[in-house]
Every structure is written in structure tokens, then in C-alpha cells.
Amino acid sequence: MTGEYMLDARDGRIGEVMGHVGGFVQLRPVGGGIEWDCPLDALLPAPPGDVLRARVRELNRRWRPSTG
């Protein structure tokens, strides 16, 4: 399961599984960031299309020139 992308059914966020402790899985947002805990009963497989969209959004965010 570590390294797989999963969906937190509580709020729809997609994250990469970083590990698990007890009844919780630690997920990291696509593209990195602060991990969050998701209970096992709220974890669903992330549809591949949703993972791809999240990765593209993150790449676009990183490469978009800042305005200011």
C-alpha cells in the first residue's frame, strides 16, 4: 500500500500513502506537503484519472509564473 495513491472519502483529497499506524494511514498530498491521517474505513482507491488530474494541477501550479 505504501506509495499508492488513495482517496480520503471524508473530503475527497487524494494522497500518497506514506505509512500507517494503528487504524490510520498517513497520506501526503500529490506534489508533496504536510501529511494527514486518514482512518482506514475512510480510505478508497483513487481512480487513475483523478490522480492524473491532481498531478497535472500540481505541475501547473509549480510552473505558473507568479504575478505581482
Tell me the three cell numbers of residue 50. Answer: 483523478
Tell me how many domains the chain contains.
1
Position 68 in a domain: no
Quick check: is 34 in a domain? yes
Q: Quote the pLDDT of residue 68.
A: 59
pLDDT band at 50 (very low <50, low <70, confident <90, very high): very high
pLDDT of residue 62: 86
What CATH code is carried by the domain that includes residue 43? 2.30.30
Report whether 6 contacts 46 (CB < 8 A). Answer: yes
**Is position 53 within any domain?**
yes
The average confidence (pLDDT) of the chain is 93
pLDDT at position 5:
96
Side-chain-facing half-sphere of 29: CA atoms under 13 Å = 11
Q: Domain containing 58: what range? A: 5-63
Q: What is the pLDDT of residues 20-47, one digit of tens each?
A: 999 999 999 998 999 999 999 999 999 9
Within a domain: 38: yes
CA neighbours closer than 13 Å in the CB half-sphere of residue 56 = 6
